[in-house]
Structure 1
Amino acid sequence: MILVTGGTGLVGAHLLLNLAENEVAIRAIYRQTDAIEKTKSLFQLYQKEHLFSRIDWVQADVIDVFSLTTAFRDIDYVYHCAGLISYDPNDEDLLRKVNIEGTANIVNFCVEFKIKKLCHVSSIAALGNLAPNENQITEETEWNPESLHSDYAISKHGAEMEIWRGQQEGLDVVVVNPGVIFGAGFWNQGSGLFFSSIKNGFPFYTNGSTGYVGVTDVVKIMIQLMKSDIISERFTVVAENLTFKEVIFSIAEKLKAKKPTIEAKPWMTALAWRLDWLVSMIFRTKRKLSKYSANSLHSSDFISNKKIKNALNFEFQSIDSVIKEVVSLQK
């Protein structure tokens, strides 16, 4: 049987859909009952609601060791998709607890229960920092602890350290580092906010860039890696490196929404994160923009996908077609 953590998130829900379609024995953990409805809604979106009953749901939390004991019974393979995504500096402790401590717990149980293979979903945020003589980020790019990193990036890097600790203890592992993931069904959280914000008339864009990938490709790669003999490797999972302007304009076009007209210059985003901080201090609201996030909107690192393409002979779906598909499913 296969265990999926984070089965109520974008990647985990799409992974469960794929596994259910292939009649694989699967178990998924959830923290709150209402969260399961998000995954059920995804099955309905793809008109596959009849497959939802194939999932064995167990209430558990990656930071609750006692609850994981039940979840790991009779499990052979684990996909660790659970994790907290936040760029609010106030969430530093929670990020470390969920992403690092939670991953450590999963690794410990995998070792104890002699799991055959673990696939960990990391992030391009956990990749290294370019040296002066380098022009593209790869799986081998060295992490520089002296460089500026978001709390989220630090927590995902720490989570990977737990994975490699498990590998040293005899656990077969593989790690994927996806870029910004686009997929249907989750417009009110994470990358889905690109679509909902633009639909509501978001006026700004920047010319910074990053790597993007469709959730279907992420899931396909994860499954192929788990079925392969590949172990003790990490892979960046990025279909294309695109500017925020290119992506935002493509989404606006597919939504038939107004394209943003204001280029947010560095001084504007610098002012924005300071105002956001002030508002959060006065009204005790959650931060929407941190200093790191503001700076990243203007950075333009190129992330290579050569390793995964060669390892699996994989061809990615274009981001333009991914956006078109997401928009068509949401209508």
Structure 2
Amino acid sequence: MIVVTGGTGLVGAHLLLHLVENEESIRAIYREPKSIEKTKSLFQLYHKETLFSRIDWIQADIIDVTSLAIAFKNVDYVYHCAGLISYDPNDEDLLRKVNIEGTANVVNFCIDYKIKKLCHVSSIAALGSSGPNQNDITEETEWNPEIQHSDYAISKYGAEMEIWRGQQEGLNVIIVNPGVIFGPGFWNQGSGLFFSAIKKGFPFYTNGSTAFVGVTDVLKIMIQLMKSDIVGERFTIVAENLTFKNVIFSIAENLKVKKPKFEAKPWMTALGWRIDLFFSTIFKTKRKLSKYSANSLHSHDFISNEKIKNALNYEFQSINDVIKEVVSLQK
């Protein structure tokens, strides 16, 4: 039996579909009944509705120990995909609770129930930062607590510390650190907002860059790592390092809509996060742009994928092909 936490998110939902297609015995955790509909819609998108009923759904929350206990009974392997993604500074406490405390709970149950192997989905946000004489960021790049990190990055780094604690207590673990993940079926949240915003005519782009990857590559690598003898390792899962401009223009071309016309300069995004802070304070709305996320739109870190390519002899799908697939399935 395999347990998947976060089965109603982008990675978890696609992982469930792939595992069920391969006739695995699957149990998935959900918090609210309505959230399951997102996963069900993904199965429908791929015309796999008949497979959806094979999933054993358990209502639980990774921060609620009592509800979580039943999910780990008679389980051999765990994919921990659940987590909170937010760059709103007001979510600092919730990020730490969900991503760090929630992961600690998952690790504890894996130890208690003698799980054979745990795969944890982290993020490139939890990687270290490049120094003056270092161009590429790898799995070995050291985390520098002295520089600015988002609350999200800190929470994902803290979650990884819980995974390594589990390893020290005898648990077989694997960590994957994906870049920005693109995949079909989730246009109204996370990275899907790239597509929905551009379709509506979002006018701006920046020349900063980051690492991107398709969801199919992420789950294929996770499954291969879980079936391998590899334990106690972390792997960055990125296909390409691209500028936001190139990615946004590619999405616009595939959607057949107008490309954004205006480059958002650093001074513009600096002004933008301050305006966003002002209005969110006055009207008690959720932050859309923080100081950290505004700065990240202009950064140029290069994330290396050499370790996973060498470990599995893996070749990634190009991001342009991923974008084409997302757009074609969404129509």
So what's the TM-score if we normalise by structure 1?
1.00
Structure 2 partner of 1:245: 245
Deviations 1:71-97 (A, max 9, x none): 111110000000000000000000000
Structure 1: 5+ residue runs without aligned partners? none
Structure 2: 5+ residue runs without aligned partners? none
Q: Please say if 1:148 is aligned against 2:148.
A: yes
Q: Distance between the aligned counterparts of 1:190 and 1:18, measured in 2?
A: 21
Structure 2 partner of 1:271: 271
Q: Distance between the aligned counterparts of 1:252 and 1:71, measured in 2?
A: 42
How well do the aligned residues superpose, as a CA RMSD in angstroms? 0.3
> Match for 1:2: what amino acid?
I
> Match for 2:47: what amino acid?
Q
Q: Distance between the aligned counterparts of 1:284 and 1:68, measured in 2?
A: 33
Q: Which runs of 4+ in 1 moved over 2 A?
A: none
Q: Distance between the aligned counterparts of 2:231 and 2:111, measured in 1?
A: 15
Q: Distance between the aligned counterparts of 1:91 and 1:67, measured in 2?
A: 23
- Residue 271 of structure 1: how far off its partner (Å): 0.2
Structure 1 partner of 2:225: 225
- Residue 8 of structure 1: how far off its partner (Å): 0.1
Alignment of 1:272-311 (within 5 A): 272-311=272-311
Structure 1 partner of 2:113: 113
- Secondary structure in 1 aligned to 2:120? strand
Q: Distance between the aligned counterparts of 2:144 and 2:258, measured in 1?
A: 40
- Secondary structure in 2 aligned to 1:286? coil
Deviations 1:49-77 (A, max 9, x none): 11001100000000000011111111100
Q: Distance between the aligned counterparts of 1:132 and 1:164, measured in 2?
A: 28
- Residue 39 of structure 1: how far off its partner (Å): 0.1
> Match for 1:258: what amino acid?
K
Structure 2 partner of 1:209: 209
So what's the TM-score if we normalise by structure 2?
1.00
Structure 1 partner of 2:100: 100
Q: Distance between the aligned counterparts of 2:257 and 2:37, measured in 1?
A: 29
Q: Please say if 1:7 is aligned against 2:14.
A: no
Deviations 1:261-299 (A, max 9, x none): 000000000000000000100000000000000000000
- Residue 326 of structure 1: how far off its partner (Å): 0.1
> Match for 2:103: what amino acid?
T
> Match for 2:243: what amino acid?
T
> Match for 1:141: what amino acid?
T
Q: Distance between the aligned counterparts of 2:292 and 2:308, measured in 1?
A: 28
Q: Distance between the aligned counterparts of 1:2 and 1:275, measured in 2?
A: 46
Alignment of 1:1-331 (within 5 A): 1-331=1-331
The count of residues paired between Structure 1 and Structure 2 equals: 331
- Secondary structure in 2 aligned to 1:27? strand
- Secondary structure in 2 aligned to 1:103? helix
Q: Distance between the aligned counterparts of 1:160 and 1:266, measured in 2?
A: 32
Q: Distance between the aligned counterparts of 1:71 and 1:174, measured in 2?
A: 20
- Secondary structure in 2 aligned to 1:79? strand
- Residue 131 of structure 1: how far off its partner (Å): 1.3
Q: Distance between the aligned counterparts of 2:232 and 2:149, measured in 1?
A: 25
> Match for 1:262: what amino acid?
F
- Residue 3 of structure 1: how far off its partner (Å): 0.2
